[in-house]
Amino acid sequence: MASLIRLSTFTVLVVLFCTGAALAEVRTESVEYEVDGEPFVGYLAYDDAVEGERPGVLVVHEWWGLDDYARRRAEELAELGYTAFALNMYGKGKLAEHPEDAQAFMQATLGDRRAMEARFAAGLSILQAHATTDPERIAAQGYCFGGAVVLNMARLGLDLDGVVSFHGSLGSDIEAEPGSVEAKVLAFTGGADPFVPAEQVAGFVEEMQTAQAELRLVSYPGVQHSFTVPDADETGAKFDLPMAYDRRADRHSWRTTAAFYREIFTGD
């Protein structure tokens, strides 16, 4: 079944199909939409056994693009009782298979602030418009490149309840102004991640303190980049990149994030 939805300047084609997970009752939707005339495809997941509206969480992918890992994270959020939308920051069909392509996609997006904001806003509008979502209770989480994106959205003062960065860059050309950060901020980083050195972590903490933001930062000693991604060791070996999966950090960061969402959405 397909239905055409118009959201301000975005045209959205929603195609619904079941995941086959009978116990979890998780349903997913492939969402086609346009931003500035360019086609994008996102991925939405929710538990149809949950009654009424529930909080929504945006998922922003790694520098590779919207892949199975980001989709799986959206499904896991649905299992927690949220509506999750894994948005697309690059465009339909743009999925990197080599770090050079990923770097080019990432730099083109982060280097165009207007495009970055527009693409995030498109995903936000789609999530808020879904029948299962409470549009007043929204958070965003991102991985690697996606972590940098959600932190930038917080810096820009978007009306989000919270943002979560997993092994994302903590530095940015966008600097938060005092009082500008409305979202509560949770960031996880690896203590041995060369992409996020200690001086960058310290600068981020100082920036958030100056901005009077509510920040929680967890650094895992000896843990490298992409520590939540099970395929990180294989990818790191293939391309000679300093990244590795860490089961303890992955599980701890996920439990901490689940508790964070319960707190910001329900006060528990």
Q: What is the C-alpha separation between 82 and 131, in angstroms, rounded? A: 12
Q: What are the boundaries of each domain within the chain? A: 51-266
Report the CATH number of the 51-266 domain. Answer: 3.40.50.1820
Give the pLDDT of residue 268.
73
What pLDDT is attached to residue 25? Answer: 85
Which pLDDT belongs to residue 267? Answer: 79
Pick from 194, 200, 171: nearest CA to 241: 194
Phi, psi of 30 (to 5 degrees): -85, 125
Intra-chain end-to-end CA distance of the chain, in Å: 38
Q: Please say whether the beta carbons of 188 and 168 come within 8 A.
A: no
pLDDT in tens, 216-261: 999 999 999 999 999 999 999 999 999 999 999 999 999 999 999 9
State the Cα–Cα distance between residues 6 and 15, nearest whole angstrom: 15
Q: What's residue 213's pLDDT?
A: 97
Q: What is the mean pLDDT of the chain?
A: 92
**DSSP states of 27-53 as a string?**
EEEEEEEEETTEEEEEEEEEETTS-S-
Please give the model's pTM, rounded to 2 decimal places.
0.90
Q: What CA–CA distances, in Å, run from 214 to 76, 175, 198?
A: 26, 16, 20
Residues of the chain with pLDDT under 70: 1-24
